[in-house]
Structure 1
Amino acid sequence: MYNSLDLFQTAGAMARHAGARQAVVARNIANADTPDFQAQAIAAFKDVYQDNSAIDMRATRPGHIGGGDTTPDIRRQPSPIGDPSPNGNTVSVEDEMLHSVEVSREHNRALAIYRHTMTVLRTSLGRS
Protein backbone atom coordinates (compact mmCIF):
# COMPACT_ATOMS: atom_id res chain seq x y z
CA MET A 1 0.00 0.00 0.00
CA TYR A 2 2.58 2.57 1.07
CA ASN A 3 4.88 1.84 -1.87
CA SER A 4 2.48 3.59 -4.24
CA LEU A 5 2.53 6.88 -2.30
CA ASP A 6 4.50 9.58 -4.07
CA LEU A 7 6.27 10.76 -0.93
CA PHE A 8 7.71 7.30 -0.28
CA GLN A 9 8.83 7.02 -3.90
CA THR A 10 10.41 10.47 -3.78
CA ALA A 11 12.15 9.78 -0.47
CA GLY A 12 13.48 6.48 -1.84
CA ALA A 13 14.70 8.18 -5.02
CA MET A 14 16.39 10.87 -2.94
CA ALA A 15 18.15 8.28 -0.78
CA ARG A 16 19.32 6.28 -3.84
CA HIS A 17 20.54 9.47 -5.48
CA ALA A 18 22.46 10.47 -2.34
CA GLY A 19 24.06 7.02 -2.24
CA ALA A 20 25.15 7.31 -5.86
CA ARG A 21 26.58 10.79 -5.26
CA GLN A 22 28.45 9.58 -2.16
CA ALA A 23 29.97 6.72 -4.18
CA VAL A 24 31.23 9.19 -6.80
CA VAL A 25 32.68 11.46 -4.09
CA ALA A 26 34.42 8.48 -2.48
CA ARG A 27 35.84 7.39 -5.85
CA ASN A 28 37.14 10.92 -6.45
CA ILE A 29 38.85 11.02 -3.05
CA ALA A 30 40.31 7.55 -3.54
CA ASN A 31 41.86 8.70 -6.82
CA ALA A 32 43.08 12.07 -5.56
CA ASP A 33 46.71 11.13 -6.35
CA THR A 34 46.09 9.16 -9.54
CA PRO A 35 47.73 10.86 -12.51
CA ASP A 36 45.33 12.21 -15.16
CA PHE A 37 42.24 11.23 -13.13
CA GLN A 38 39.30 13.49 -13.93
CA ALA A 39 36.97 14.26 -11.02
CA GLN A 40 33.36 13.28 -11.62
CA ALA A 41 30.10 14.54 -10.17
CA ILE A 42 26.40 13.80 -10.25
CA ALA A 43 23.94 16.68 -10.47
CA ALA A 44 21.89 17.54 -7.40
CA PHE A 45 18.62 15.64 -6.94
CA LYS A 46 16.44 18.69 -7.52
CA ASP A 47 18.08 19.30 -10.89
CA VAL A 48 17.86 15.67 -12.01
CA TYR A 49 14.29 15.23 -10.76
CA GLN A 50 13.04 18.47 -12.34
CA ASP A 51 14.71 17.70 -15.67
CA ASN A 52 13.17 14.23 -15.78
CA SER A 53 9.73 15.19 -14.48
CA ALA A 54 9.49 18.06 -16.97
CA ILE A 55 10.04 15.68 -19.87
CA ASP A 56 7.86 12.80 -18.72
CA MET A 57 4.63 13.73 -17.02
CA ARG A 58 3.14 11.11 -14.73
CA ALA A 59 -0.52 10.16 -15.09
CA THR A 60 -2.24 9.30 -11.81
CA ARG A 61 -5.70 8.90 -13.38
CA PRO A 62 -6.86 7.62 -16.74
CA GLY A 63 -7.94 11.13 -17.82
CA HIS A 64 -4.46 12.59 -17.39
CA ILE A 65 -2.36 13.38 -20.41
CA GLY A 66 1.10 11.81 -20.72
CA GLY A 67 2.62 9.35 -18.35
CA GLY A 68 6.00 7.93 -17.60
CA ASP A 69 8.39 7.23 -14.79
CA THR A 70 9.52 10.01 -12.43
CA THR A 71 12.57 8.11 -11.19
CA PRO A 72 15.55 10.37 -11.79
CA ASP A 73 18.18 9.35 -14.30
CA ILE A 74 21.56 9.41 -12.55
CA ARG A 75 24.46 10.14 -14.89
CA ARG A 76 28.06 10.88 -14.05
CA GLN A 77 29.59 13.91 -15.60
CA PRO A 78 33.00 15.51 -15.38
CA SER A 79 33.14 17.83 -12.41
CA PRO A 80 33.59 21.48 -13.38
CA ILE A 81 36.67 22.05 -11.24
CA GLY A 82 39.48 24.51 -11.89
CA ASP A 83 42.93 23.81 -13.23
CA PRO A 84 44.41 20.31 -12.99
CA SER A 85 47.41 19.62 -10.80
CA PRO A 86 50.83 19.10 -12.43
CA ASN A 87 50.09 15.37 -12.84
CA GLY A 88 46.79 16.11 -14.65
CA ASN A 89 44.53 15.20 -11.72
CA THR A 90 41.47 17.47 -11.25
CA VAL A 91 40.37 16.21 -7.80
CA SER A 92 40.29 18.80 -5.02
CA VAL A 93 40.06 16.99 -1.69
CA GLU A 94 38.62 20.11 -0.04
CA ASP A 95 35.83 20.35 -2.62
CA GLU A 96 35.12 16.64 -2.31
CA MET A 97 34.79 16.95 1.46
CA LEU A 98 32.28 19.76 0.98
CA HIS A 99 30.38 17.60 -1.52
CA SER A 100 30.39 14.78 1.01
CA VAL A 101 28.72 17.00 3.62
CA GLU A 102 26.17 18.16 1.05
CA VAL A 103 25.36 14.55 0.13
CA SER A 104 25.01 13.61 3.80
CA ARG A 105 22.48 16.39 4.26
CA GLU A 106 20.60 15.24 1.17
CA HIS A 107 20.40 11.71 2.57
CA ASN A 108 19.26 12.98 5.97
CA ARG A 109 16.58 15.04 4.23
CA ALA A 110 15.31 11.92 2.44
CA LEU A 111 15.11 10.04 5.75
CA ALA A 112 13.27 12.96 7.38
CA ILE A 113 10.69 12.96 4.57
CA TYR A 114 10.23 9.21 4.96
CA ARG A 115 9.85 9.46 8.76
CA HIS A 116 7.40 12.35 8.52
CA THR A 117 5.29 10.49 5.97
CA MET A 118 5.18 7.46 8.28
CA THR A 119 4.07 9.72 11.15
CA VAL A 120 1.27 11.18 9.02
CA LEU A 121 0.11 7.68 8.02
CA ARG A 122 0.17 6.44 11.62
CA THR A 123 -1.77 9.49 12.77
CA SER A 124 -4.37 9.06 10.04
CA LEU A 125 -4.83 5.43 11.12
CA GLY A 126 -5.32 6.49 14.75
CA ARG A 127 -1.99 5.13 15.95
CA SER A 128 0.80 7.08 17.52
Structure 2
Amino acid sequence: MLDRIDTMRMARELGAHAANRQRVIATNVANADTPGYRARDLRDFDPDRAPTRLKATRPGHVAAAGWGSTAGVRDAGGELSPNGNSVSIEGEMLRAADAKRQFDLSLSVMQSGLSLLRTALGRRG
Protein backbone atom coordinates (compact mmCIF):
# COMPACT_ATOMS: atom_id res chain seq x y z
CA MET A 1 0.00 0.00 0.00
CA LEU A 2 2.76 2.46 0.87
CA ASP A 3 4.39 1.84 -2.52
CA ARG A 4 1.46 3.64 -4.14
CA ILE A 5 2.26 6.87 -2.30
CA ASP A 6 5.14 8.48 -4.17
CA THR A 7 6.47 10.37 -1.14
CA MET A 8 6.65 7.19 0.93
CA ARG A 9 8.23 5.24 -1.93
CA MET A 10 10.84 7.96 -2.44
CA ALA A 11 11.61 8.03 1.30
CA ARG A 12 12.08 4.24 1.27
CA GLU A 13 14.42 4.46 -1.73
CA LEU A 14 16.45 7.24 -0.07
CA GLY A 15 16.76 5.11 3.07
CA ALA A 16 17.90 2.10 1.03
CA HIS A 17 20.43 4.29 -0.81
CA ALA A 18 21.79 5.65 2.49
CA ALA A 19 22.12 2.13 3.92
CA ASN A 20 23.98 0.91 0.82
CA ARG A 21 26.22 3.97 0.97
CA GLN A 22 27.08 3.21 4.62
CA ARG A 23 28.02 -0.34 3.55
CA VAL A 24 30.40 1.01 0.88
CA ILE A 25 31.90 3.50 3.36
CA ALA A 26 32.43 0.73 5.93
CA THR A 27 34.25 -1.31 3.27
CA ASN A 28 36.49 1.68 2.55
CA VAL A 29 37.35 2.10 6.24
CA ALA A 30 38.04 -1.63 6.59
CA ASN A 31 40.51 -1.40 3.68
CA ALA A 32 42.18 1.84 4.83
CA ASP A 33 45.56 0.09 5.13
CA THR A 34 45.25 -2.22 2.12
CA PRO A 35 47.91 -1.36 -0.46
CA GLY A 36 46.44 -0.32 -3.80
CA TYR A 37 42.84 -0.10 -2.55
CA ARG A 38 40.81 2.68 -4.19
CA ALA A 39 38.08 4.33 -2.11
CA ARG A 40 34.58 3.92 -3.53
CA ASP A 41 31.30 5.74 -3.07
CA LEU A 42 27.78 5.63 -4.47
CA ARG A 43 26.47 8.20 -6.87
CA ASP A 44 24.27 10.84 -5.27
CA PHE A 45 20.64 9.89 -4.82
CA ASP A 46 18.65 11.07 -7.82
CA PRO A 47 14.87 10.88 -7.42
CA ASP A 48 14.45 10.74 -11.20
CA ARG A 49 16.59 7.58 -11.39
CA ALA A 50 14.95 5.88 -8.42
CA PRO A 51 13.15 2.72 -9.43
CA THR A 52 9.47 3.05 -10.02
CA ARG A 53 6.76 0.49 -10.50
CA LEU A 54 6.35 0.71 -14.24
CA LYS A 55 3.48 -1.05 -15.89
CA ALA A 56 4.81 -3.50 -18.45
CA THR A 57 2.38 -3.61 -21.37
CA ARG A 58 4.61 -5.88 -23.45
CA PRO A 59 6.82 -8.84 -22.53
CA GLY A 60 9.93 -7.06 -23.88
CA HIS A 61 9.76 -4.14 -21.43
CA VAL A 62 12.81 -3.74 -19.21
CA ALA A 63 12.47 -3.22 -15.44
CA ALA A 64 14.14 -0.23 -13.77
CA ALA A 65 17.46 -0.85 -11.98
CA GLY A 66 17.55 -0.66 -8.20
CA TRP A 67 19.86 1.32 -5.94
CA GLY A 68 20.96 -1.89 -4.25
CA SER A 69 22.96 -2.90 -7.31
CA THR A 70 26.64 -2.10 -7.76
CA ALA A 71 25.80 0.00 -10.82
CA GLY A 72 25.85 3.14 -8.68
CA VAL A 73 29.33 2.49 -7.21
CA ARG A 74 32.03 4.84 -8.43
CA ASP A 75 35.61 5.68 -7.56
CA ALA A 76 35.56 8.25 -4.74
CA GLY A 77 38.79 9.81 -5.95
CA GLY A 78 41.18 11.29 -3.44
CA GLU A 79 44.90 11.56 -3.17
CA LEU A 80 46.94 8.35 -3.32
CA SER A 81 49.20 7.46 -0.42
CA PRO A 82 52.68 6.03 -1.11
CA ASN A 83 51.24 2.48 -1.04
CA GLY A 84 48.59 3.36 -3.66
CA ASN A 85 45.66 3.53 -1.22
CA SER A 86 43.18 6.40 -1.70
CA VAL A 87 41.14 6.02 1.52
CA SER A 88 41.04 9.10 3.75
CA ILE A 89 39.53 8.41 7.17
CA GLU A 90 38.47 12.05 7.47
CA GLY A 91 36.75 11.89 4.08
CA GLU A 92 34.99 8.67 5.04
CA MET A 93 33.77 10.29 8.27
CA LEU A 94 32.25 13.13 6.23
CA ARG A 95 30.61 10.67 3.83
CA ALA A 96 29.25 8.63 6.75
CA ALA A 97 27.76 11.76 8.34
CA ASP A 98 26.11 12.66 5.01
CA ALA A 99 24.69 9.14 4.64
CA LYS A 100 23.31 9.33 8.20
CA ARG A 101 21.69 12.68 7.38
CA GLN A 102 20.05 11.11 4.31
CA PHE A 103 18.81 8.15 6.34
CA ASP A 104 17.45 10.42 9.09
CA LEU A 105 15.63 12.48 6.46
CA SER A 106 14.03 9.37 4.95
CA LEU A 107 13.00 8.18 8.42
CA SER A 108 11.42 11.56 9.24
CA VAL A 109 9.45 11.57 6.00
CA MET A 110 8.22 8.03 6.62
CA GLN A 111 7.18 8.86 10.20
CA SER A 112 5.34 12.00 9.05
CA GLY A 113 3.60 10.08 6.29
CA LEU A 114 2.50 7.35 8.66
CA SER A 115 1.23 9.96 11.09
CA LEU A 116 -0.81 11.56 8.30
CA LEU A 117 -2.25 8.17 7.37
CA ARG A 118 -3.20 7.48 10.99
CA THR A 119 -4.90 10.87 11.20
CA ALA A 120 -6.78 10.23 7.95
CA LEU A 121 -7.99 6.90 9.34
CA GLY A 122 -9.19 8.62 12.51
CA ARG A 123 -6.59 7.08 14.81
CA ARG A 124 -4.35 8.99 17.17
CA GLY A 125 -0.70 8.41 17.95
**SS class of match (1:45):** coil
2:97 aligned with 1:101: yes
> CA offsets, 1:11-68, max 9 Å, x none?
111111011000000000000000000000101213xx33x26xx99779xxxxxxx7
Aligned pairs, how many?
Answer: 118
**SS class of match (2:74):** strand
2:17 aligned with 1:17: yes
Measured in 2, the distance between the counterparts of 1:5 and 1:123 equals 16
Name the structure 1 match of 2:115.
119
Name the structure 1 match of 2:72.
75
Amino acid at match of 1:94: E
Amino acid at match of 1:107: F
**SS class of match (2:123):** coil
Structure 1 length as normaliser, TM-score? 0.79
Measured in 2, the distance between the counterparts of 1:34 and 1:80 equals 16
Measured in 1, the distance between the counterparts of 2:54 and 2:13 equals 18
Measured in 1, the distance between the counterparts of 2:53 and 2:19 equals 25
Measured in 1, the distance between the counterparts of 2:111 and 2:80 equals 42
Structure 2 length as normaliser, TM-score? 0.80
Query: Percent identity at matched positions?
Result: 33
Measured in 2, the distance between the counterparts of 1:69 and 1:77 equals 19
Q: CA RMSD in A?
A: 2.6
Q: Extract unaligned runs of 5+ from structure 2.
A: 56-62
| Contact 2:77–2:86 (8 Å) recurs in 1 | no
Bigger mean CA deviation after superposition, 102-111 or 70-79: 70-79
